[in-house]
């Protein structure tokens, strides 16, 4: 994290550009107050009145401040207070996002099953703020009962999704280019930092608030059609839930303190039993007093320059205060704070979301004291003193070790800080600005990127007295050279230089062309102008015949002079002379004939070797025979190479190769009505258009047609062969039609591309693998190699790893086999699920090391709905048909029964705690049944043995008793016999 510079940038609210920057030396009494819960953020600071900054410190202007976590927070100036006695100006600013409260309105509506992103989009529509990082937190429904502002909707959205809002702006140069709203699950860091009173903290105030305590909690929720759901039916006909311990502690005059609770839920069919469960959880939060801690921080991070010691918004730290009785150990989160850049001693933080950490040493000491007290009356004093002495020695020894560890930790910490300081000293900061820096300059190390003449600028180094240029100003040097070159070239451009520079035309040719066109124009005017426009025409005619030793010369000459008195500039601005002359010379070398009209001359020069004719046009009427003909251009002629049946005939733009008076090859152009130009064509054969008895290559408006036909009128094969590449390009569509088999054969493979990128490629590998490569990422392979020839493979592009497939439905007639996992987002149907359990797959087989019956007893079977089913229910409600009167409820989706993986023992779940292992569960269930059966068998056996013993005992008792009875009977018999004998 970079070190904060404390500069406050002031932005004009109209142009949104930075107009001034206030350095820490120019302000004092600065305080930033922030709160996470309500996104409160204010900034106050004081400057001297009359400075250059004061003119920009007006209401509605923005102040930008970089906070500790690196964000740039915008504040809008809401109030300015002047103190004439102190000649100071105090600025009060609030976070700019408070203006969202007046940026628009949201109509009352009900939004069902929306994400936080969708709610935020609705809130920020039409504002300057944009959606930033929105963490996913599921779907929720919100009912807006009245008109609200965008800021209220953002706060309600964050509360509904249990998210926290973070605002920030982004700068580009001196301009604000974006305002963003982030929603995250938790701001701040888990720092692991421990702060101690006297070191990091100046003091702790512990506040205990019992205002929200209740001893009886009344829960309720509105169901469908505003039906009230309570716990009365499942709570012994009581509307409220009671906590007896809280009642004994907080009740007054044996009367309850009632509280009310409505869970945040979308379930309009919540059962009373479910409501009771949620109420029990909430009751645990209501029976104790709320505790908060206010901390005055010493902020040693900025006092001594240790950035890692700074406390940021939302950070979770540990607080230690041994002065509390008992000692205080907390893990808490910074939820609010006051910060000052100029005076770190004023930093103050409020910590919440805490829980107290038990000091194990303190607890052990308490237990030890209680143990000593309980043994005092039972054990001798000498023995107790000896025991106490040993315990104290052990404690002192542990404390010495702890102190040693702390000293070593401090040494490591000091070393790390020194290394960090050295690293900073080894780095050189490059300052970029238009004006030279004036503070913090170090000779030989401070670098300045001078951008006064625009970027990229010139790099300079501070020598202690002046700024020395490190990298030359290339732009200035180029400019100087250009100016010198420009002066050197000034006034030296001639027509020849321009002609040499512009190579597309030659100035003399252009000049001659213009001159010729002028003469032609004057000649045309002179020939066509009416005679009445001229006041005078003079004609001079001369004819003569000369004969001498050189030869015979015949000549005729006529001069016509046109004079125009009025020079109106309509046709010509000067007088014009037209001269016509014809001359014939017969010499011993040859015959020369010359005809002249103005500047136009045609000449026929005949000698013994050749006849030379010079004229603009030679018009020959009749047949011309020549044994050899050489010409630059032949125009408007029909050429036939022979009078025989085999010849080449060329007329206009058509060339025919004739065989037996039949043209077998025709090359030419056609005037097609769909085209703006003539289209070329080549016809092989007669080209009668029937497509029979001839082979043709023909071009029309739809494309080029190739057709080959044999002597019997049947279409035959066609083959294109080239040593190099063959390319075919269609500007629109292209198709290949075959009434039989269409074969595409590539030496390495066949590729299909789209916009230059390979879409599919057919490759044959090693003679056994036939691959279809899709998109350069997946291969579908069909193999003929034994062992692999029964299955179709899906692999990566290199073919060394398998890849998965995603389809709507798979039908397998032979079976589905997987070496890893099989996943199904919905139900899986099968005639029978068989788990592979052969000993070939197992090792280290042992009996269960735990009681299967105990594991089964710990399972908690739940009733629940699947989220996707609930989502479908929302969709059903949104798209309810008009004929349906009753609303859709949870009765229209399936109720599920099962376990919650996160609440289930590890032996039943996957390592990721995202599923239940059915085979393991069934196996453990089987073992539990066996264990239960064995337990019952043992109990039955024990009962049997006990019964056997009792039976034996009864039998013995019966035998003894029977013997006694028999003995008595014998005795009675003896007595009777004696009596009878006595009578006798």
Average pLDDT of the chain, as a whole number: 75
Q: Which tens digits make up the pLDDT trace of 135-169?
A: 888 888 888 889 999 999 999 999 889 899 999 99
Q: What are phi and psi of 541, to 5 degrees?
A: -115, 130
Query: Where are the strands (E) in 404-525, listed by range?
Result: 430-433, 447-450, 458-462, 467-469
Q: Is the pLDDT of residue 817 over 80?
A: no
Which tokens sit at 755?
């916009």
Report how far residue 136's alpha carbon sits from residue 714's, in angstroms, rounded to the nearest whole number.
70
| Other C-beta atoms lying within 10 Å of the C-beta of residue 779 | 22
Q: Is the pLDDT of residue 192 over 80?
A: no
Question: Could you tell me which residue, 573 or 124, shows the higher pLDDT?
Answer: 124
Contact (Cβ atoms closer than 8 angstroms) between residue 158 and residue 184: no
Residue 536's pLDDT is what? 47
DSSP 3-state of 844: coil
Residue 830's pLDDT is what? 74
DSSP 3-state of 100: helix
Helix (H) or strand (E) holding 959: helix 918-983
Residue 531's pLDDT is what? 41
Report how far residue 642's alpha carbon sits from residue 658's, in angstroms, rounded to the nearest whole number.
10
User: If you average pLDDT over residues 796-817, what whole number do you get?
Assistant: 78
Q: What are phi and psi of 546, to 5 degrees?
A: -120, 140
Model pTM? 0.36
Question: Could you tell me which residue, 163 or 393, shows the higher pLDDT?
Answer: 163
Query: Where are the strands (E) in 412-513, listed by range?
Result: 430-433, 447-450, 458-462, 467-469
Helix (H) or strand (E) holding 548: strand 536-548
Contact (Cβ atoms closer than 8 angstroms) between residue 612 and residue 562: no
User: If you average pLDDT over residues 163-179, what whole number do you get?
Assistant: 90
Question: Could you tell me which residue, 407 or 466, shows the higher pLDDT?
Answer: 466
| Range from 54-68, 202-216, 281-295 that averages highest in pLDDT | 54-68
| Other C-beta atoms lying within 10 Å of the C-beta of residue 804 | 8
CA distances 825 to 136, 808, 828, 910, Å, are 21, 11, 9, 16
Contact (Cβ atoms closer than 8 angstroms) between residue 801 and residue 788: no
Q: Which tens digits make up the pLDDT trace of 421-439?
A: 554 554 455 777 888 887 7
Residue 659's pLDDT is what? 81
3-state secondary structure 588-628: CCEEEEEEEECCEEEEEEEECCCEEEECCCCCCCCCCCCCC
Confidence of residue 665 (pLDDT cuts 50, 70, 90): confident
Residue 226's pLDDT is what? 74
Q: Long-range contact list for 728-733, CB < 8 A, 24+ apart?
A: 730/703
Q: Which tens digits make up the pLDDT trace of 525-583?
A: 444 443 434 444 445 555 555 555 555 566 655 555 545 444 444 444 444 455 556 66
User: If you average pLDDT over residues 903-915, what whole number do you get?
Assistant: 90
Q: Which tens digits make up the pLDDT trace of 576-624?
A: 455 556 666 666 666 667 776 665 667 777 676 677 777 777 767 777 7
Q: Which of 29-38, 244-253, 503-512 is least confident?
A: 503-512
Confidence of residue 240 (pLDDT cuts 50, 70, 90): very high
Among candidate residues 6, 12, 7, the one with its CA nearest the CA of residue 176: 12
Question: Could you tell me which residue, 962 or 292, shows the higher pLDDT?
Answer: 962
Query: Where are the strands (E) in 642-756, listed by range?
Result: 647-651, 654-659, 662-670, 679-684, 696-700, 703-707, 749-754
Residue 709's pLDDT is what? 47
Length of the chain: 984
Among candidate residues 350, 341, 290, the one with its CA nearest the CA of residue 317: 350
Task: Domain ranges for the chain, please list them.
Answer: 8-98, 211-288, 359-404, 430-475, 529-613, 633-718, 745-807, 838-861+899-984
């Amino acid at each position: 994290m970079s070190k904060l510079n404390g500069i406050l940038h002031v932005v004009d609210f109209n142009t949104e550009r930075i107009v001034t920057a206030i350095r820490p030396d120019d302000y004092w009494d600065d305080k930033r107050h922030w709160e996470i819960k309500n996104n409160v953020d204010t900034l106050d600071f004081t400057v001297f009145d009359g400075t250059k900054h004061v003119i920009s410190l007006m209401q509605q202007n923005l102040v930008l401040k970089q906070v500790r976590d690196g964000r740039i927070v915008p504040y809008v100036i809401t109030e300015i207070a002047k103190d004439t006695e102190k000649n100071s100006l105090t600025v009060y600013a609030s976070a700019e996002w408070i203006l969202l409260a007046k940026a628009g309105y949201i109509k009352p509506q009900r939004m069902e099953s929306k994400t936080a992103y969708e709610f935020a989009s609705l809130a920020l529509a039409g504002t300057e703020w944009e959606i930033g990082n929105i963490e996913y937190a599921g779907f929720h429904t919100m009912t807006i009962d009245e008109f609200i502002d965008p800021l209220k909707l953002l706060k309600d959205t964050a509360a509904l999704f249990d998210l926290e809002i973070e605002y920030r702006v982004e700068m580009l140069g001196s301009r604000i280019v974006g305002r963003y709203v982030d929603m995250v699950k938790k701001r701040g860091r888990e720092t692991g930092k421990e702060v101690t009173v006297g070191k990091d903290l100046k003091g702790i105030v512990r506040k205990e608030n019992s205002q929200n305590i209740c001893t009886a909690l009344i829960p309720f929720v509105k169901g469908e059609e505003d039906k009230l759901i309570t716990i009365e039916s499942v709570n012994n006909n009581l509307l409220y839930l009671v906590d007896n311990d809280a009642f004994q502690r907080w009740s007054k005059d044996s009367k309850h303190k009632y509280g009310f609770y409505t869970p945040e839920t979308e379930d309009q069919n919540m059962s009373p039993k479910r409501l009771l469960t949620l109420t029990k959880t909430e009751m645990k939060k209501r029976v104790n007093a709320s505790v908060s801690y206010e901390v005055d921080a010493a902020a040693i991070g900025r006092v001594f320059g240790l950035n890692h010691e700074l406390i940021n918004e939302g950070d979770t730290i540990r607080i230690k205060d041994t002065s509390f009785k008992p000692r205080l150990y907390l893990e808490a989160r910074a939820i609010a704070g006051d910060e000052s850049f100029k005076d770190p001693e004023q930093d103050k933080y409020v910590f919440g979301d805490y829980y107290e950490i038990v000091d194990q040493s303190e607890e052990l000491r308490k237990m030890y004291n209680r143990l000593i007290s309980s043994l005092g009356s039972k054990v001798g004093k000498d023995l107790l003193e000896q025991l106490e002495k040993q315990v104290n020695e052990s404690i002192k020894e542990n404390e010495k070790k702890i102190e040693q560890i702390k000293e070593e930790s401090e040494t490591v910490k000091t070393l790390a800080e020194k290394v960090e300081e050295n690293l900073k000293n080894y780095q050189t900061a490059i300052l970029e600005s238009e004006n030279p820096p004036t503070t913090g300059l170090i000779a030989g190390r401070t670098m300045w990127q001078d951008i006064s003449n625009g970027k990229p600028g010139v790099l300079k180094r501070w020598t202690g007295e002046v700024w020395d240029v490190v990298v030359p100003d290339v732009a200035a040097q180029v400019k100087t050279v250009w100016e010198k070159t420009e002066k050197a070239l000034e006034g030296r451009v001639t027509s020849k230089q321009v002609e040499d520079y512009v190579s597309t035309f030659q100035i003399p040719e252009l000049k001659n062309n213009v001159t010729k066109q002028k003469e032609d124009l004057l000649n045309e005017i002179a020939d066509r102008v009416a005679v009445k426009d001229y006041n005078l025409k003079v004609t001079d005619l001369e004819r003569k015949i000369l004969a001498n030793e050189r030869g015979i010369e015949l000549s005729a000459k006529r001069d016509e002079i046109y004079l125009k008195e009025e020079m109106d500039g309509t046709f010509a601005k000067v007088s014009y002379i037209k001269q016509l002359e014809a001359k014939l010379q017969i010499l011993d070398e040859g015959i020369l004939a010359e005809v002249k009209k103005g500047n136009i001359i045609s000449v026929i020069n005949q000698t013994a070797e050749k006849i030379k004719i010079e004229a603009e046009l030679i018009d020959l009427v009749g047949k011309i025979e020549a044994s050899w003909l050489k010409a630059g251009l032949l125009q408007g002629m029909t050429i036939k190479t022979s009078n025989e049946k085999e010849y080449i005939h060329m007329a206009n733009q058509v060339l025919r190769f004739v065989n037996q008076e039949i043209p077998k090859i025709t090359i030419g152009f056609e005037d097609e009505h769909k085209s703006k130009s003539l289209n070329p064509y080549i016809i092989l054969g007669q080209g009668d258009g029937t497509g029979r008895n001839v082979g043709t290559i023909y071009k029309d408006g739809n494309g080029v047609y190739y057709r080959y036909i044999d002597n019997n009128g049947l279409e035959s094969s066609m083959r294109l062969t080239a040593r190099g590449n063959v390319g075919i390009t269609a500007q629109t569509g292209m198709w290949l039609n075959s009434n039989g088999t269409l074969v595409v054969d590539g030496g390495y493979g066949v590729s299909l591309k789209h916009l230059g990128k390979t879409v599919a490629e057919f490759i044959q590998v090693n003679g056994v693998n036939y691959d279809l490569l899709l998109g350069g990422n997946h291969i579908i392979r069909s193999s003929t190699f034994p062992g692999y020839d029964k299955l179709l493979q899906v692999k990566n592009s290199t073919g060394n790893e398998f890849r998965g497939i995603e389809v709507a439905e798979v039908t397998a007639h032979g079976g589905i086999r997987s070496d890893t996992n099989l996943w199904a987002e919905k139900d899986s149907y099968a005639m029978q699920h068989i788990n592979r359990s052969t000993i070939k797959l197992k090792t280290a087989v042992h009996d269960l090391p735990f009681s299967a019956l105990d594991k089964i007893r710990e399972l908690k079977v739940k009733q629940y709905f699947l989220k996707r089913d609930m989502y479908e229910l929302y969709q059903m409600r949104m798209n309810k048909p008009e004929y349906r009167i009753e609303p859709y409820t949870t009765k229209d989706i399936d109720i599920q029964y099962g376990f919650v993986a996160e609440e289930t023992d590890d032996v039943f779940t996957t390592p990721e705690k995202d599923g239940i292992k059915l085979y393991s569960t069934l196996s453990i269930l089987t073992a539990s049944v066996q264990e239960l059966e064995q337990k019952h068998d043992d109990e039955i056996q024990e009962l049997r043995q006990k019964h056997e013993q009792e039976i034996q005992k009864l039998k013995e008792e019966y035998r003894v008793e029977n013997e006694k009875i028999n003995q008595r009977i014998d005795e009675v018999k003896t007595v009777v016999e004696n009596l009878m004998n006595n009578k006798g």
